[in-house]
Each structure stands twice: as structure tokens, then as C-alpha cells.
Amino acid sequence: MSSSDAVGGSGAAVAAPSAAVEARVDASRRERPSAGWALLGSELSVMFRRWRTYAMLAALAAVPILIAVAVRLTGGSSRGPAFLNEISSNGLFVAFTALVVCVPLFLPLTIGVVAGDTIAGEASHGTLRYLVIAPAGRLRLLAVKYAGSAVFCIAAALVVGVAGALIGTLLFPIGPVTLLSGVQVSLGDAYLRLALIALYIVVSLLGLCAIGLFLSTLTDVPVGAMAATAVLAVMSQVLDQLPQLDALHPWLFSHYWLGFGDFLRQPLAWDSFTSNAVLQLGYIAVFGALAVGRFTTKDILS
């Protein structure tokens, strides 16, 4: 064999592994988009198989049921949450009342549990490092965790609204709804407005999800991130009630939480929804960036 043949043979031997590596890299690049969707599917599957998730959703569903039963047994009262005195005449107001009751405390509490557990929960169980080295990568893992929290927001708002509408239909008469502006609308229009209110509440909680995600990247103890998220939600609402801090109120993430009353007027008013959406997007951008900065530089030890 000539020296040139030997060189050619060695060159082919070198070229072959190089081509194989390039092919593997190209294949991994093609698989990365599907890896993100697979990870999201896995995240949602795990979330909605947990007894904790079922317990929280059941607790939320119990709120409108308790309200409806109490009104049914006592005949209702003009004292209490908004729309409470309307329940006896129209059962659909059970859903409206339950949403008013759940927004300040119960919904933020459950969102705090889910969002605070996103990263810290994986770290405490020792599974975070395996997720980090998966094809999805750290940024995509953060996006999937946030998306999972957002899906839970949708599920939580729907559970309260649907449970309220169902129990209201069972215990009270149902018919056209008189809005806050005094105009009466059909039952179909009222259900549409209920769906818009649920959407409003979901948007309202997205900023809190981003805060919880960021706090979850700061610790390996999920209970700490959960508690801190819930405490911040309460603190924001307390600060929003202090007249001495009027200049600060429009910047608090909870400032527009109860502004969905605009959807119970004729014509529909979108001002609160727009202001709320812009505010929540600001919190998502700020705390999302903080979460990315923290998580991409964090040493994953567990």
C-alpha cells in the first residue's frame, strides 16, 4: 500500500466520525422544539396527577357551594360580598360572588403554592439536575414551568366559575341578568360575561406567577417560596388600601384584580382589562428576566 493510500485511508477515518457528529448535532437540533412540548406535556401531566392539585381545586370549588348553601338556608343578606343579595333572584350570581370572594385570598394562595414549587420543588426532590441536562435546557425549562403555572390559573378560575354556575342553577332560579348599569341581558350574554371575568382573573394572576417563579429560583425549599409568594400577594393588597400611598397604587400587581366589574356593564368597558394586562406584562417581563438571570447562573447541586 502506498503512503498516499494510507493518508487517504486515515483521512476517511477522520472524516467519518466528524460526519457522524454533525449528523447527531443536526438531529438534536431538530428534536429540541419537540422536547419543549414533550416537557410541557409531562409538566402538566405531573401537576394534574397530584393529590395536592386536586385538593386545591376542590377547595376552590367548595367556595361557591358554601356560598350557595348558606344563602339558600338563610335567605340571603344585603351585607357581605358584592352580588350576594342578588343570588336569591338569579343563581348565576353565585359564580360572580364566588369569584369576588376568591380573588383576594384563595386564588393567590393556590397560585403561590403552584408557582413557588416550580423550581424549588424539583430541587428539593433531587430531579432538577436531570431536567437541566435534558435537551430542553434551562431557558426552556423555565418557560415550561411558567406555562404550567399559567395553565393552573386557567383551571382554578374555571373551577370557581363553573362550580358557581352549576350550584346556582341547582338551588336558585336562572334567567336574564340585570347588570350593574341597570340593563338586563340574556342568559347567553351573561355566560359570555362570566367567561370574560374568568379570563380577566387569569390575566390578573399571571404577574403573581412570574413573581413565584423567580422566588422559586432563589431557594431549594419550596415551602419558603410558596409562603413568600402568598405573603407578597397579601401585602400588595394591603398597600393598595392605604390612601397615603396613592402614587404607588397603579404599580401594585394587585391594583386591578377586582376591576372585572366593568364586564358587568353595558356596553362592555375594556379600560380596566387593558390597564391590568399591561401591568401584568410588566411584572412578567421584570420578574421573568430576574428568574432567567438567577436560574441560568445558578449552580444545580440536586
pLDDT higher than 60, residue 275: yes
Q: Annotate the chain with DSSP letters as a single string.
A: --HHHHHHHHHHHHHHHHHHHHHHHHHHHHHHHHHHHHHHHHHHHHHTT-HHHHHHHHHHHHHHHHHHHHHHHH---SSSSTTGGGTTT-TTHHHHHHHHHHTTTHHHHHHHHHHHTTTHHHHHHT-HHHHHTSTTHHHHHHHHHHHHHHHHHHHHHHHHHHHHHHHHHHHS----EE-TTS-EE-HHHHHHHHHHHHHHHHHHHHHHHHHHHHHHHT-S-HHHHHHHHHHHHHHHHHHHT-GGGTTTGGGSTTTTTTGGGGGGSSS---HHHHHHHHHHHHHHHHHHHHHHHHHHT-----
Tens of pLDDT, residues 247-266: 999 999 999 999 999 999 98
Q: How far apart are CA 229 and CA 69, in angstroms?
A: 32
- How far out from the chain centre does Cα 59 lie? 17
Tens of pLDDT, residues 213-229: 999 999 999 999 999 99
Tens of pLDDT, residues 51-60: 999 999 999 9
% pLDDT > 90, the chain: 68
> Sorting pLDDT into bands at 50, 70 and 90, what band is 75?
confident
Tens of pLDDT, residues 144-197: 999 999 999 999 999 999 999 999 999 999 999 999 888 999 999 999 999 999
pLDDT higher than 80, residue 19: no
Kindly report the average pLDDT of the chain as a whole number.
87
- Which of 198, 103, 190 minimizes the C-alpha distance to 158? 198
pLDDT higher than 50, residue 288: yes
Give the cell for residue 8. 487517504
Judge whether 208 and 233 are in contact, CB under 8 Å.
yes
> Sorting pLDDT into bands at 50, 70 and 90, what band is 35?
low
Predicted local distance difference test score (pLDDT) of residue 2: 47
Residue 185: phi and psi, rounded to 5, are -120, 160
Predicted local distance difference test score (pLDDT) of residue 123: 87
What's the angle, vertex CA 11, arms to CA 8 and CA 12, rounded to 5?
Answer: 90
> Sorting pLDDT into bands at 50, 70 and 90, what band is 135?
low
